[in-house]
Amino acid sequence: MIRIFNYFLIILIFLINHSAYAKDLLITNAKLVIDEKTFKENLVYTGKLPTDYTNNIHENITIYQSMGAGGNEPITFFFKDTEADEIRYFLGDTDYVIKNAEGNWVTSGIFAPFSHLGMADIGGEDLTNDISSPGSSTTISEKASDSFNPQSVFVANNRRHGITHAVISPAASGNSVFAGTGSIVNLTGNYNSVVKERAFVLAQLGEKGTQYSGGSRSASLLQLKEGLDTANCNNDRTCRNSLERAINNINKNSYISNSESEFLKRVIRGNIPLIISVERAIDIIRVINLKKTFERLDIILLGASEAWKVAEQIAENNIKVMIDPHNNLPSSFETVDSSLKNIIILDEAGADYAIANLSALGLQGIGTLTQHAGNAVANGLDWDKAFAAITSTPASWFNLSLINNSLVIWDGDPLNVTSTPTSMFINGQEQSLESRQTLLRDRYNPVNETEKAYKYR
């Protein structure tokens, strides 16, 4: 009791300083799903330590999430087998919201590692599609966050599936393999929902990369190398001029603004990741060789359908991978060796991976991400690893503490297709699980007993 009182004394000092800014959150009777490391770090010692830390599912947990203010990060505490009344006693008059999970599953929010969420209303209509800009004279300096509409219908449609945060990215186009700078957003639908404006730079190699660099793999790889070489030099003016020359030597129609090389410098220093879209095994090997030349690069492979063929090399060079575990059929010549065992072999090799839905519809409809993780489990991946691949693992790549920024209560196993969120919190605020889809469902539901005409419902 003395130990828990002293711990709460520290918490209360924190709360007194910050409770005026935001309501905190207390969730009781939770079946918490969390990785071992985070559970240990956030567990408050009460004299009732669990006997098995390695179990990623913990029963009878009370969660207290204190919202930071004034630039402080939120912080989350876990209590094992502690009476909720005891915790409420120490919290006193602190302004917080209490939620009884009733023994249901509680997790961090789902983190979509790659998407075009909120960047297009209708993909086939250019005026409503801001994913790419083929006629633009800029590339790397363009931010996905400037094209993001937080109140797009796709945001609420995906939020109700447990997605709390997403990576959003532009697509390569025009005459450059550089697509632009991607961002991290939350799915609150608020106008201030951009979490990180400049989170990474995306480059396109492989078959698509050839379209933007003059027509061949050698041209696209050279364009990427020249850009990195330029960013690696010392004199700013020389960097900009040589970058323009390098790109123009490949395609005379291309142009790089004066600010472009500055954003590649952040990549070359390892300050932000470089995501490289690539599929074929030999192209992945060329990316690995690129990492050997530019050792500080933080490279994330996107797609990587044939990664299983070079899994050990990927792991040895600390290269991360975003893959779609559904991709097992060749959609192009560079994906002829796609396999459902891709993610299994990467896991066995010790590679760091995240699960994404990379289908055309999945890049906007990221709500199916849990289904993709569930299918990876069905094909042999451990449950806890699959769940980490859509939560803590990709979030950590972008230095986001997901458990401190989001919580979701589910009515069953999150990776089961029949399970759904019952409550969701982002930054301590409960989120609506209503969307345009649910509203239309309810309006035209044939068992709706209202006598009003459809348009008045």
| Residue 442 included in any domain | no
For the cut 80, the answer to whether the pLDDT of residue 26 exceeds it is: yes
Which structural domain range is residue 49 located in?
A: 2-103
| Residue 448 included in any domain | no
Same domain (yes/no): 348, 394 = yes
Q: How many CB atoms lie within 10 A of CB 259?
A: 11
Domain end among 51, 81, 103: 103
pLDDT digits 0-9 by tens, 228-246? 887 776 434 554 555 555 5
For residues 225 and 246, the answer to whether their CB atoms sit within 8 Å is no
Domain end among 86, 103, 120: 103
CA separation for the pair 197, 416 (Å, rounded): 33
For residues 311 and 351, the answer to whether their CB atoms sit within 8 Å is yes
| Residue 377 included in any domain | yes
Same domain (yes/no): 16, 151 = no
Predicted TM-score of the model (pTM)? 0.88
For residue 192, what is the DSSP state? T
Domain end among 68, 103, 138: 103
Same domain (yes/no): 233, 87 = no
Q: How distant, in Å, are the alpha carbons of 18, 189, 252, 374 from that of 215?
A: 57, 40, 14, 38
| Residue 407 included in any domain | no
Same domain (yes/no): 232, 370 = yes
pLDDT digits 0-9 by tens, 416-446? 999 999 999 998 889 999 998 888 888 888 8
120: CATH: 3.20.20.140
| Residue 409 included in any domain | no
Same domain (yes/no): 95, 114 = no
Region class of 63: left (phi > 0), else alpha (psi between -120 and 50), else beta: beta
What residues contact 370, with CB distance under 8 A and at least 6 apart?
110, 161, 162, 390, 414, 415, 417, 419
Given this model, what pLDDT does residue 6 score? 47
Same domain (yes/no): 137, 280 = yes
| Residue 342 included in any domain | yes
pLDDT digits 0-9 by tens, 286-320? 999 999 999 999 999 999 999 999 999 999 999 99
Same domain (yes/no): 198, 74 = no
CA separation for the pair 46, 295 (Å, rounded): 45
Query: 406 pairs with which residues across the strands?
Result: 426
DSSP secondary structure string for all residues of 318-373: T-EEEE-TT--S-SSGGGTT--TTHHHHHHHHT-EEEE---STTTTT-GGGHHHHH
pLDDT digits 0-9 by tens, 185-200? 999 999 999 999 999 9
Same domain (yes/no): 81, 119 = no
| Residue 336 included in any domain | yes
pLDDT digits 0-9 by tens, 117-171? 999 888 777 787 888 888 777 788 889 999 999 999 999 999 999 999 999 999 9
pLDDT confidence tier of residue 22, bands split at 50, 70 and 90? low
| Residue 432 included in any domain | no
pLDDT confidence tier of residue 54, bands split at 50, 70 and 90? low
pLDDT confidence tier of residue 277, bands split at 50, 70 and 90? very high
Q: Is the dihedral of CA 274, 280, 283, 289 positive or negative?
A: positive
Same domain (yes/no): 85, 124 = no
Question: Domains in the chain: how many in total?
Answer: 2
Given this model, what pLDDT does residue 242 score? 56
Burial class (CB in 10 A: 0-12, 13-18, 19+), 70: exposed
Same domain (yes/no): 294, 222 = yes
Same domain (yes/no): 117, 257 = yes
Same domain (yes/no): 53, 120 = no
